[in-house]
Structures are given as structure tokens and as C-alpha cells.
Amino acid sequence: MKELTYTVAAREALDEEMARDPRIFVMGEGIGKRGGNFNTTLGLYEKYGPTRLCDTPISERGFVGLAVGAAMSGSIPVIDFMMVDFILDAMGEIINQMAKMQYMSSGRLRMPMVLRGCIGIGGAAATHHSGSYYSIFSNIPGLRVIVPTTPADVKGMFRTALRGNDPVIMLEHKNLLSNKGPVPDGDYTTPFGQARIARAGKHVTAVGVALTVQKCLQAADQLAKQGIEVEVIDPRSTSPLDIATILQSVKKTGRLMIVDDAFEPCGFGAEVSAQVGTHGFDDLDAPIRRLSGAFAPTPYSPPLENEIVPSVERIAAALGELVKE
């Protein structure tokens, strides 16, 4: 075990897998000599050279489509998007090509590739640099969508992605990047579709995603002082979604809140709510609640930006109320 930041843990996974497998290459804007806007590839250019750490023009659609063809022909591309917001220009390639290629080819083509990018609201980045979009990707068959929250998970899940055969969207919340945490030694992988119980509790279940897992933990700390024990669940991947772990928790607590700082309608929280509403119907002692980001683009100025995401205080208050219902 060692303590690493989220970014370094992810980079270690990439570095180690690139050393193992010469088919892996990385593309993105400034991910070569510069080492990535968020240091995602720092030092790798020197090690692996320009073909494997390949700087691109501002052609998001182009290089995603290129990566699709590369995966089809036997490479393992990693696209480093810097901000996930830039991915939208490539949605056609993602939804109609990358996600459908295995299906269209009846499984004769494999699509090992990873698209990664930062998500989340914070730092006055304003509306073109604050998107998330895991809900949208989770609606699409053929994609794996992962949202690791800890350094250990990002390393283990990135490795799983790089060794798999499905296209993976890996979303890294920008406010988690410099978090430190213990990372196991050795060649471990972390599976998709297996939630993590981030904190055990018995009065209410809180499901977060990315940064809101952390916020739920902080809210749980506060509530513990009032004797309320919150069980916090980190799904780690939104597609596949490990609903079993959530259902089990709800069986125990009878109460569920999904906390998500992204948009609510047709979102991740809706899916969890729908599944638990159907399969955990008899376990529920109170209606399921969602606490979500405002249904609005992201404003720049701090007083506005703060308004639109659930704060730890609001989460704690809402969980406290739900327990009383």
C-alpha cells in the first residue's frame, strides 16, 4: 500500500499497462510532451514516444473516429479529453460507431478503448467546462461507464478497462484529482458493476456518484453526531449498475436518497430510483428521494455556482428529514 493522488494512481495504471501491452496508445490535445492539462500523461512521452503519446489537433470527432478504427484494427486507444465537455462533438462516433461496433459485427470485432475526461462543477469553470454526462452515456447499450472516486478504484478500474474488450468511458471528477488515498501494491484490477459500500449504516442509504460520494460521506459524519447512521454507497460504474448492493442496503435501512450534482431528469438517480422502486418496493419505509444539481447550465460566479450543486449541508439536512419520514 502506498498513498497516491487520484491523478497519479490513474497514471500509474496507464503507465504499467502501456509497458505490458504495445497496442495501447494515447491521443489528446497536449497529452504528449506537455503531459496533459491535468498531468494525466506526465512523463509518459519521454518513455513511450510520440506515436504512443500522440498530440492531436482540435478534432474531437476526428480522433474519436480514428480511435474507433484503430480499435477495430487491433490497437487499444485511450482518448484523453481533458474536459468531458469536448466529447459532445464526437457523440455520433461514440453512439453510432464505437458502442455499436461489436454488435454490428456480430462480435467479430472487439472494441477495447477508453475515453477519459474530467467532469463536474467547480472552480468557476462555467458552463462549457462543467459537464458530466454519465447519465447520457448510461442510456446507450454497448458502452461501459465508470466514475471512480478513490485513487485505488481509479487505478484498478482503469486497468480493467485497458485489459477489457468493451469501450469504456472513464469520468474523473475534477475535484477528486488531487485527493490522496491508499493504493494497493501489485497487479490488482477492480471490476465494473460492483458497488462499494463507502460507509456502513443502518438508518438511511445514500447513493452518490463521483464527487457526491465524498459529500455524502461528509454529511454522514455530521449526522453520526446526531445518532443517524447513513450507509453510503459508491456505485463506481453507472453502466453496468450494481443494483443488488443498493437493494441490499435499502432492505436494511428502508430509506434511499440518491445524491447527484448533475441534471436530474432521466438521470442516474432516476434509474436507481426506478429499479429500487420496482425491486425494493416492499422494503421502502419512505419514498425515495433525489437530491440533484439544478436543472440549469453552470454559471461562473461563485455565489451562482454554489447555488446549483447540493452542498454537504443540504445533503445532511435532506438525509435527516428522510430519516424522520
Ligand X SMILES: Cc1ncc(C[n+]2csc(CCOP(=O)(O)OP(=O)(O)O)c2C)c(N)n1
In the complex, the smallest distance separating the C-beta of residue 141 from ligand X, rounded to whole angstroms, is: 20
Binding string to a copy of itself for residues 170 to 209, with x set by CB under 8 A, is what?
----------------------------------------
252: its cell numbers: 436494511
Encode burial over 126-145: b for 16+ CB neighbours within 10 A, e otherwise. eeebbbbbbbbbbebebbbb
Phi/psi at 309 (5° precision): -115, 145
105: its cell numbers: 459485427
Q: Contacting another protein (CB under 8 A), which of 197, 284, 286, 308?
A: 308
The verdict on 104 binding a copy of itself (CB under 8 A) reads yes
Residue nearest ligand X, CB atom distance = 86
Nearer to a copy of itself among residue 9 and residue 125 (C-beta): 125
In the complex, the smallest distance separating the C-beta of residue 84 from ligand X, rounded to whole angstroms, is: 11
Question: Over 71-140, what HEC string results?
Answer: HHCCCEEEEEEEEHHHHHHHHHHHHHHHCCHHHHCCCCCCCCEEEEEEECCCCCCCCCCCCCCHHHHHCC
278: its cell numbers: 420496482
- Please report, as residue ranges, which positions from 256 to 285 form the binding site for a copy of itself (by CB under 8 A): 263, 265-271, 273-274, 277-279, 281, 284
Query: By rule CB under 8 A, what count of residues binds a copy of itself?
Result: 49
Q: Which of 128, 129, 173, 203 is catalytic?
A: 129
The verdict on 47 binding another protein (CB under 8 A) reads no
Q: Which does 166 bind (CB under 5 to 8 A by kind): ligand X, another protein, a copy of itself, none?
A: another protein
C-alpha closest to that of 130 among 11, 269, 258, 304: 304
Interior angle at CA 39, CA 35 and CA 45, nearest 5: 25
Handedness of CA 320, 323, 132, 69 (dihedral sign): positive
Is 279 among the residues known to form the active site?
no
Q: Which residue stretch of 196-204, 207-215, 227-235, 300-308 sits at the interface with another protein (rule: CB under 8 A)?
A: 300-308
Nearer to ligand X among residue 86 and residue 137 (C-beta): 86
The verdict on 178 binding another protein (CB under 8 A) reads no
Q: Which does 173 bind (CB under 5 to 8 A by kind): a copy of itself, ligand X, another protein, none?
A: none
Residue 285 vs residues 227, 256, 322, 323, 325: alpha-carbon distances, Å: 19, 9, 10, 9, 8
- Please report, as residue ranges, which positions from 82 to 141 form the binding site for another protein (by CB under 8 A): 85-86, 89, 92-93, 96-97, 101-111, 123-129, 141
Query: Which residues, 6+ apart, have CB-to-CB distance to 216 below 8 Å?
Result: 198, 206, 207, 208, 230, 232, 259, 315
204: its cell numbers: 438511511
Q: Which residue stretch of 51-59, 97-105, 179-187, 311-319 sits at the interface with a copy of itself (rule: CB under 8 A)?
A: 97-105
Please name the helix (run of DSSP H) or strand (run of DSSP E) that holds residue 181, with its range, or none: strand 180-183
Q: Catalytic site residues?
A: 129
Footprint of a copy of itself (CB under 8 A): 61, 85, 88-89, 91-92, 95-96, 99-100, 103-104, 127-128, 131, 135-136, 138-142, 238-239, 241, 263, 265-271, 273-274, 277-279, 281, 284, 286-290, 295-297, 299
